[in-house]
Amino acid sequence: MTQAPAPRLTDPAALAARRARAQADGLFLHERVAEDLQDRLSIVNKSFTKPILITPFPDHWARLTGDLPAPPRILPPSDVLPVETESADLVFHVMDLHWSNDPVGQLIQCRRALTPDGLFLGVLFGGRTLSELRECLGQAEIEVTGGLSPRIAPMGEVRDLGGLLQRAGFALPVADSEVLTVTYASPFKLLADLRAMGEANALQDRLRRPTRRAVILRAMELYVQAHGDAEGRVPATFEIVTLTGWSPDASQQQPLRPGSAKASLADALGTTEKPLKF
């Protein structure tokens, strides 16, 4: 019996087309991400000589990695990454995983590409991203058409994204997030910026016809009403999630076996331990 193909979140052809039309001035959040990654590496007490960087915008990122101790090998994302086992001691995966149809598979490939005790740093948009736009588009579409269609990717919550690192077999997994607020002169400028970022709707189940003008106009009206300031400017939320994990190695800290503690919590707190009664 033929197995049905796995459902896809993202239409790869549409995503490639969106990214091909991206503009350098629309990638300002990538500049912020690059600075943050440099800061994180500066506090890691380890030297890296064989980095790999995976990004949908390799030319842009080639200009953002000049301060790394060793220039990274920069690769575009693909379902099967062209990386050899244990060929890198540092892997970056930046601004792509929120569109991936198989994020765990991507993380597993990155882990396998790392030498023992190699570092992985992944950056993607989190679940609070574009919360204002999501709310207003949904309300407007329901008002105008009586239905609701997929428009913004269902990005993961930071806790769930951290769990992906564990599923992929990383040691010492950590997920943290930073929420950035960007203000725009109007919601239409936000839509233009999303196109310039290559982040316009590329969902597999999106409408395959142009959105009705009345839906867009009503959504923009709701955006200004709900979120605009006295001058009519509107905020847009972007949540940047960073995933950190290490390729397992015997030299890393290991959790103690249950019952191996040499002191009790009661002793540490200066109190008397009372056994439970059943």
DSSP 102-122: -HHHHHHHHHHHEEEEEEEEE
- Which pLDDT does position 154 carry in this prediction? 87
- Which pLDDT does position 42 carry in this prediction? 92
- Which pLDDT does position 253 carry in this prediction? 72
Neighbours of 269 (CB within 10 A): 9
CB 72 within 8 A of CB 53: yes
- Which pLDDT does position 273 carry in this prediction? 67
pTM of the model: 0.88
- Averaged over 5-17, what is the pLDDT? 88
Residues 220 and 238: their CA atoms lie apart, in Å, by: 18
- Which pLDDT does position 275 carry in this prediction? 65
Burial class (CB in 10 A: 0-12, 13-18, 19+), 235: middle
- Averaged over 85-113, what is the pLDDT? 97
Residues 114 and 117: their CA atoms lie apart, in Å, by: 8
Q: Which carries the bigger pLDDT value, residue 69 or residue 178?
A: 178
Write down the architecture of domain 12-249 according to CATH. Answer: 3-Layer(aba) Sandwich (3.40)
- The encoded tokens of residue 182 equal 């960007």
- Which pLDDT does position 266 carry in this prediction? 66
Q: What whole-number percentage of the chain has pLDDT above 70?
A: 89
Does the pLDDT of residue 65 top 60, yes or no?
yes
Give pLDDT tens digits for 214-259. Answer: 999 999 999 999 999 999 899 999 999 999 999 998 887 766 566 6
- Which pLDDT does position 110 carry in this prediction? 98
Task: Lowest mean pLDDT of 35-44, 85-94, 147-156, name the range.
Answer: 147-156
Q: How confident is the model at residue 66 (pLDDT cuts 50, 70, 90)?
A: confident
- Which pLDDT does position 160 carry in this prediction? 93
Cα three-residue angle 15-21-27, rounded to 5 degrees: 90
Residue 219 CA, distance from chain mean position: 26
- Which pLDDT does position 69 carry in this prediction? 75
Does the pLDDT of residue 2 top 60, yes or no?
no
| Average of per-residue pLDDT values in the chain | 91
